[in-house]
Chains A and B, each alone.
Chain A
Amino acid sequence: MTDIWSGLQAAFWLLVTFDRDLVEITLRSLQVSLSALVIASIIALPLGTWLAIRRFRFRRAVIAVLNALMGLPPVVVGLIVYLLLSRSGPFGVLGLLFTPTAMIIAQVIIITPLIASITHQAMRELWAEYHDLLISLNTSNWQRIKTLIFDGRRALLTASLAGFGRAIGEVGAIMIVGGNIDHATRVLTTAIALETGKGDFALALGLGFVLIGLALVVNFGIHVLSRTEREGRW
């Protein structure tokens, strides 16, 4: 109990004093996870929608694989990205290992299936509703995808937020490919793991509360923004 209490105190002091390291780590966490979110959304939203509107031979298999990939173990993703980016790996020449870019790549791989799968579920329903109209209006595939993404944007927001939640709280993959290097690749989750290992529970808890607060603020912020939109009512 004293640990939690001192953790709260530590978190409070870290916040009110705008601890420089804390700010840096927090911003890096945000930068990595938001970049991964944007890239993953650009891939996953059209992909999930496309899976909802197209009928092709291996569709069911693709969807099953996608659903299975939602539970992809981050540590394994980290390992594979590590092997690909390491000096002796195929992309070693790019020198990306132990950089924020490598962390973004790993997180994109982890959250893209999750966002695509939730998108597919949501878009299937909307497509059933719009199907006849969009076929009758002779729309191209791309026009159909755009229409569904636009009209289903509230559901897609949920999909993206789920992806963000997974990315910001993820530690296994970014620890491996980022290396938790101070002032270079240290983010909130890896810092927590490190402080816990060192036995500095107060600081670890403080960072943990900051992380939870951050996730709440981002979720809240996006919801408030989307609700103030006029059409946001649907």
Chain B
Amino acid sequence: MGSFRDVQLSDTLEIPLLNTVEVRNIRPIRQVPKGPTPFKLPKLLDALYVLLPLFAFFLWAISLQHVPVQNLNGLGLISGLSPRIIIALVILTISFGLALQQPQMKVSILALHLIFVIIILYGTQNLIEEAPRFATVYRHAGYTEYIMRTGTVDPNLDTYFSWPGFFVLSAFVTQVAGYQSILSYAGWAPVFNNLIYFGPMYMIFNSSTTNKRLIWLGLWFFYLNNWIGQDYFSPQGLNFFLYLVIIAMLLKWFKIPPKAQPQEQRQRRQSRVRFPQLVSRFIDWLGTPDPFCLALQPWQRRALLASLLLVYGLVVSSHPLTPFFALLSVTALVVLRRCRPFWLPIVMAIMTAAWILIMAQPFLVGHLNLVIGTLGDFGGNVSSNVTSRATQGNPQHQFIALLRIIMSAFIWSLAFLGGVRRLRKGYKGTTYVLLAVAPFALIVAQNYGGEMFLRIFLFALPLMAFFAASLFYSKHTLVIRKTSTWMTAAIIAMSLVLLGGFFFTRYGNEGVDYITYAEFDGVQYLYSIAPPHSLLIAAWNGSPWQYKDYEKYKCESLYDRLPDAVIHTKVGEVVRFIESQGHPHTYLIFTRGQKAYETIYSGLPDDTLDRFENGLLASGDFKLIYRNPDAQILLFLGSVERHGSTKGGGS
């Protein structure tokens, strides 16, 4: 079943439920006429569908140097993106739609399109920007550098040291690969992650249908919708892959076979009498068996289960949130008799609890309120995840936030319609609907710093993309004798709409997220002059710092501590705060990223940080010791007076 090769006409059969009622609904299969093959793909067309993506890739490659990233506004990368890059993606999209609708679909050609779209959509930022993008990556570099330098972790230092699996792996790989820091290769993480997401998603989709067109369109929709941006160099980026692998393994090899179904159905019929018709139909739907149950030898099953638990071991040790998504989905599948063994969620829950109670105890002790404080606060969690995000920032950023909500609702609506269409055609797809909706349960549990909704969107996205693709392919026909021009046009149009949305939703934060060499130079200079145990203060969020010597400096952001003092230039409050910290040396850093953050995300006037910086210098308590176009460093003179002379000079 489902070998990965070029698809012949007979491979487009999508087998519906193994249920007599459903089977009766299948229309008779039309015979493929013999004789000359009227729909054999001419070699010219084959060549065209190879040349078109190659041309698009070439066009994209030669357009990369024409992106003025320094002048991005609140709309993000789209405000500076070369039209030729957009044209290249449009060509790729049209070419994919046409190739997908060919009577004799070539998997190799579709794979070529998919690889190119992943490289273009997720690699462009790394190629056109200067230093590795996104300030958080630098903090992750700091965690990794700490492990590389000390060979240990300190859970009291940072939350992530209670879940260090990903950073231990990073430290190990970085060292044996001969790098000094993850910053040498971290920029390619989005491309790498999205490439490896392909495998488990293909397995998941392939466990539901043999219709290769549906599978490839589902994959295509996923990549045009993955705007969340959690695929950067981060534990969650890797853990999403591991989550998909766990689900793929369950769906591929551990489904409960339909042969047990008649007895269960009879039992359900007996108990159903009490329920209204709608409830009975829902219970029936929940009990519908899945097609495609692969027979495995017992030893193979045991080996695969051991592998699944090994993979889950990495999930549990590397991220606080992903284990709960995995646990929720696996529990839903097992409790509702979609997969086995019954003890799997129990073992997974024990593994999760053991890690939290033993290894992450230092985090729990200090942050229990953070963990359970928003438990059950559905309204508050939704508000902090949706409403507040859409009302923050300058008007352009608010537009981006609104567009993200609209595009999320759009793909979910498409998925709903696709699911309904499948249902009407006789494909109940219970397992896959469960997986699409299970992540939403976590909105009740936590707001996760206002990011829970983003994570839910991500974990639901593969199945949402699959159901959205089902809107276009849901027929029970064995072959496509003549492709519909309207269908081809609809697929291309829908892909272009999603692509258009992606330009804004994915790249909308780029004005803040890109890092210039100059601002990273400034940060490096700060670390070269600041003695250990200094207090380093960022005037606002968005600095590429903490990339090394994580435990040697105390780092604070006035965005978190004294936002009002920054907005209204209250120098006295800042001085009192610094003196209360009691550090021998204190440095303030201003960067381009901070100024973009305060303008775009915080919606403040764009001269707020400049006024604050001037106010600090005018007070006489601070001295400018470093300046370049994108970074300024101020030394707090009170520390010099208390502790004598200090290092640092101008540049």
Q: Do A and B belong to a common assembly?
A: no
